[in-house]
Structure 1
Amino acid sequence: MEMKTHISVIGITYCELPLYLLLGIFCGLVSVALSSCTSFMLQIVENIQTASGVPKSAFPVLGGLLVGLVALAYPEILYWGFENVDILLESRPLVKGLSAELLLQLVAVKIVTTSLCRASGLVGGYYAPSLFIGAATGTAYGKIVGYIISHADPIFHLSILEVASPQAYGLV
């Protein structure tokens, strides 16, 4: 009887589990960044309102304006009914997709704009933004890990690590 070297559960090899553990740690740090940024933005908006005397009803308008200006540079941060998350997780053979650098930028920008929306009083939640942030974080992580392992393999012989597609990490 021959033993398989790579045992798989739902398409994930056991050799890949340390990479998913690192992804969990990375996503935990991103989650802390979102919470901290939101608390920071709430404090800033409260301080501005107290210092300037601007009515509270003006802040959603100002927040919407600022988010709209940011969206001119990063239109992916806008909510399109989960279509933007689908685009991140879509795998097409001949389409390269967004770069890891752009995905990390989108994560940072989405954290800031989500926090700004919340602090300025705009209606919205955390569910859809957290899905986008998670998908972008995981996909960027998958692209970075895939690049590192594919380029380090001749030197360190990391063939034991089979890296899934970036979209698999985005789903997690």
Structure 2
Amino acid sequence: EMFVYKVENEALDDQPIRLLSFPSDAMISGLFRNEEMLHPKGNTRLKVGDVLCIISREGDLEALNKLFDGESTLRQQQLAFFGSFVLNGDALLTDVAKAYGLTISPQQASMTLGEFISLRVGGHPVVGDDVEWHGIHWVVNEVVANSVKKVGMRLF
């Protein structure tokens, strides 16, 4: 079904679309600003007065209403805690080091990012564990069976 929302919630003003907590199957089919249709991307910032056309299931209506009424929190709060970028825990530490210009020891060369983080937090990682390494905060974002699956990069 198509649902139409006018952005009136001031908390959504100037927020990138990618930070909205949409239900998993919901998608924006159109965004109108000043009666002109835009083709939004994840970095498109909402403005008060924008009109969004969203395709979703009727079962998602309550979550969408909460989002646009201001009852739902933005992912901004999550990003402030976990970081703007999320990496897979199974990424090889050598690849992460190359991508971000970091140095690693020979002992770390065969480790995954998840193994490295787990080792640094004492072997029992939990969501929210934070390791500072090379001026970056690496924050455990997801753990399954004592294994780090997702790691956020917080640059402050």
Instruction: Give the structure-1-normalised TM-score.
Output: 0.24
Q: Which has the higher contact order (CA 8 A, sep 6+)?
A: 1
Instruction: Give the structure-2-normalised TM-score.
Output: 0.26
More helix by share: 1
More strand by share: 2
